[in-house]
Structure 1
Amino acid sequence: MPSTRDEHATSDPQAFWSDFVLPRLVLTKGVSPRDKSGAVTVARQVLNDELSAMHLAMCSIRTRINSLCPISALPAELLVHILELYVSTKPAGSCVDSGGHLGWIEVTHVCRLWRDTALQSPGLWSNVCFKLGSQWTELMLARVKSVPISVHWDETEGTQESLDFISAHLRHTRELSLAGWPTILKPIIDTFPSPPATLEIMELGADATITVVEGSNFELPGSLSGHRLPSL
């Protein structure tokens, strides 16, 4: 005799899922909208929990469908290379005014494979964005792990919180570009590790709207000026 599993595999999908859900509906059997003891609220929560569970089941089916697409047969390293090319053409935060503010990060919402690939590739997150808010900045810095990062910060767009993020990750910063008041930039520069072996490019400048006043300049700290910097 065929097993229950075999019967499910050959049965009509609609009939299968209709039969499957009936025992779950029994959990709220007998509850009436006229009940005043809180049973209605509990029943609605139970049913919403069932919907959430079914949504996860549907996601699993969609994932399986996507796994049968030709692109899913690409080697992981090739998919990463494609994503790297997309990152370079559509950086995060580059299209804020047009509504596509996430830029390349939107690919992580396409399917589970692309999301998992992006999350397992720290290099994709190395160009840290400050335009999307501190939550996204912190998330990108967490996903990049210890991979060398590129930081481009402008006083007109950044916040004090973003400066704190920069200071905390100077040790693995490869490219640093800062624009703002010297009094704002100096505390960051002073926190550079000694010597900053990862740093390859550094640009310090003032915004076009800033008027430099006497006494606002500062000297580079010893961690930058007092050591040999082979990468810079």
Structure 2
Amino acid sequence: MAGYPPISPFEQDGSAEAIWRSAVFPSKQITIQDQLSRTSWNGGVPVNRLPPEILLEIFQALKTMTEDDSEMWMIPGNYVSWTAFSHVCRTWRDVICNSAQLWRDIHVKDQLQWVELCLSRSKESPLHVFFHSAQTLPQACDMLSSHARRIKKVIVYETAPDTVSSLTQLFQPTMPMLEEFCLDAHNTVSDATCFGDSNILPLLPVLHTLRLGYAHIDWTPVSVRTLRVLHLRDWTSPDEYLLSLAQFLSALQVFQALEDLNMDFAFPFEMYNADGVRNVSGPIISLPNIRSLYFLCPAHEEPSSPDIYHLLVHLRVPVSAKLYVYSQVHDYITVSGEGGYLDTIPQDAGCLPILHSATKANLWKQGFDCHCGEGQLGLDLELVGDEPRQWAYTPERAVRDFCTLFAKSPLQELSVQDMEYAQDTWTHLFRTFPSLLGVTIQNEAGGANGERERALLAALTPAATTEAVHSDDTVVLPELRALRYEAVAWHEDTLSDLVHCLRVRAARGVKLRELTVRMFSRAQWDPVADARHEALLEELKSLVVTLMYADIPPPQ
């Protein structure tokens, strides 16, 4: 026992229980050194001497680490093969085979003997069933039918023409515990892959999570009012299942418990009737518990009035919710400049209260996201088509539209990424949000002449914004306390421009508190340039309370 801490009375017999008691109930009188020594010794206990309780905790932690990510449910993840682990030693085998909770996840592949083994060893534990093979699904459903009352989750990664009917038989007469049902029908897209009151959904009284890929819902008779999570991905409804906007809104209104709505290239409504007349009317609906809305919109035929715009007009989204819109814009309409922010997001704070309450914003070339506490509104536009062109919807126009949307918000933090704004655009942006406390600039693309940074600093320098340079109201962003240059290309005039800007602002009584400059591609080993560089840094230190400067590697 040389090298180990003294043996306590609990450890005298060397039993697993004694070791566990010693680890969990150490004497309060031992020193820190003794504790460290004992911890090291416990770490060296052979695996076959660990107490069953500790082994089970380890196995459960390993199981949790390999569970499928709910955000990537359509892609099968890794999972633990307990058969392999049970071959390590007799102790491990006893713990694994007698722990029902380790066998509740049943991955149905080609070997159905595995299903029988899991059903036997899981005893009465709730079951999570993952169907990886469409060929074995019908037979596996027969095996699972007598245990249907225990099934809590079903995920189907692969389908066949008979998949829906097999699942319907499994779910008969009811699934009293099933809370989550996910199905990806990418390999058998057909009209038959439809879910509604006509088949499965009425059999699931406590269902709260429904995720469908390449499958659709018959919305008109849906009565599953317990849903909290609804994800629809990658499908176009057959004509007989398409709804008008008003019908879809009425169906959506039923889900008052809904917390998470994700429509990923899966819009079940059509705004044109059989006569080609567009109808965008519908009821105003509220989902009081909604926390997340995620819309990925296909390229629209009406760039100045896309479907997502009219859907949002009819929703009342709480300020605490996260709303993200990704919208495609066809290249053949880009010459008009349509399809921008104001064509996609309604200018209605009654619909989107975050328009009047955002405190933090991030801007990039064709998108933005704004935050208010836990709430968020994000928009990302993508140009698509066979012949990409220069979009007439310029970054300058995008900024002005952003200002129009959020003009009444008390923005305090603003981050701008890779933008080449002219001075008047920066000035307009800053004049719209005078309460900004912090501004962050990130220009990883760089610029050979430093025009990006020069235009920004010119807008921040009082003399550059008005002729009345001696008036107190000439200072742009009078509350600005932090300016951050994160990952910007080095240019020899950037620091001198900063010195000039901050000196003038300080003279007007608006001294900056925090300046962060992280620059890449600065030439090294030039004594003259290095000396000038250090002198400018010293001058900057005198103009701010805190200066943080770093030369960083260029972005990859």
Q: TM-score range by the shorter chain?
A: 0.5 to 0.7
* Residue 115 (1) aligns with residue 93 (2): yes
Match of 2:181 in 1: 202
Letter matched to residue 113 of structure 1: T
Which has the larger Rg? 2
* Mapping 1:14-93, distance limit 5 Å: 70-89=46-65
Structure 1 distance, partners of 2:61, 2:203, is 38
- The answer to which of 161-170 and 197-206 deviates more is 161-170
Residue 168 of structure 2 aligns to a residue whose secondary structure is helix
After superposition, the Cα gap between the structure-2 partners of 1:150 and 1:221, relative to the gap in structure 1 and judged at 3 Å, is farther
Letter matched to residue 123 of structure 2: K
* Mapping 1:1-232, distance limit 5 Å: 70-89=46-65, 103-131=81-109, 133-156=111-134, 158-178=136-156, 179-181=158-160, 183-192=162-171, 195-206=174-185, 208-213=186-191, 217=194, 219-220=196-197, 224-225=201-202, 228-229=205-206
Structure 2 stretches of 5 or more lacking a match?
1-44, 68-75, 210-556
8 Å CA contact 1:124, 1:144 repeated in 2: yes
Residue 204 of structure 1 aligns to a residue whose secondary structure is strand
Q: Whose RCO is larger (CA < 8 A, sep 6+)?
A: 1
Residue 129 of structure 1 aligns to a residue whose secondary structure is strand
Structure 1 distance, partners of 2:57, 2:135, is 30
8 Å CA contact 2:137, 2:163 repeated in 1: no
Letter matched to residue 186 of structure 1: S
RMSD: 3.4
After superposition, the Cα gap between the structure-2 partners of 1:88 and 1:186, relative to the gap in structure 1 and judged at 3 Å, is same
Match of 1:45 in 2: none
8 Å CA contact 1:195, 1:229 repeated in 2: no
User: How many residue pairs are counted as aligned between the two chains?
Assistant: 156
| TM-score normalised by structure 1 residue count | 0.54
Letter matched to residue 187 of structure 1: S
Q: More strand per residue: 1 or 2?
A: 2
Quote the offset at 1:130 in angstroms: 1.8
The superposition leaves residues 107-162 of structure 1 with CA deviations (integer Å, 9 ceiling, x where unpaired) of 10011111011111011011102236011221111111121111111444634322
Percent of aligned positions with the same letter in both sequences? 25
8 Å CA contact 1:126, 1:149 repeated in 2: yes
Over 6 Å off, 4+ runs: none
Q: More helix per residue: 1 or 2?
A: 1
After superposition, the Cα gap between the structure-2 partners of 1:106 and 1:224, relative to the gap in structure 1 and judged at 3 Å, is same
Structure 2 distance, partners of 1:174, 1:226, is 13
After superposition, the Cα gap between the structure-2 partners of 1:104 and 1:225, relative to the gap in structure 1 and judged at 3 Å, is same
Structure 1 distance, partners of 2:204, 2:93, is 42
